Amino acid sequence: MRLNNSSVSTSPCGAALLLSLQRALLGEAHPQLRQASIEADPGASVVRLRFEYDGEPSKAALDSSACAATEVIADFPAPWNLDDQHVSVAYPHKLSALAHIAYRRWEPEHAA
């Protein structure tokens, strides 16, 4: 299912971004993935994704995120470009999300 391009006119809204990434992650959320977030930069026509992993991501984790990223950018017509970031943030270190969090794995609360 693709998002209707008319709903993603000049600048995609937060709901369209979240729905796109959540749909793309179905079947692709690798156990090493701690968080996935998304935002749009209308001035630069960039959809930015950040995938945060528990430690250095394995090839399988990176492949899963690459599949999801491809699905996301397919939802947005040109001139939108993709900036996908892959960050190693071992548990229990603090995560650093973009504007909209589409996925966060459950983790026990850690007393700092």
In this prediction, residue 1 carries a pLDDT of 44
pTM exceeding 0.85: yes
Share of the chain above pLDDT 70, in %: 88
- Going 49 to 55 to 58 to 61, the CA torsion angle's sign is negative
Architecture of the domain made up of 14-92: 2-Layer Sandwich (3.30)
Q: Which residue has the higher pLDDT, 3 or 60?
A: 60
Residue 87 has pLDDT above 50, yes or no: yes
Spatial CB neighbours of 16, under 8 Å, sequence gap ≥ 6: 3, 7, 8, 75
Residue 2 has pLDDT above 60, yes or no: no
Give yes or no for a contact between 73 and 47, defined as CB atoms under 8 angstroms apart: yes
Q: Any bridge partners for residue 36, and if so which?
A: 51, 103
Q: How confident is the model at residue 77 (pLDDT cuts 50, 70, 90)?
A: confident
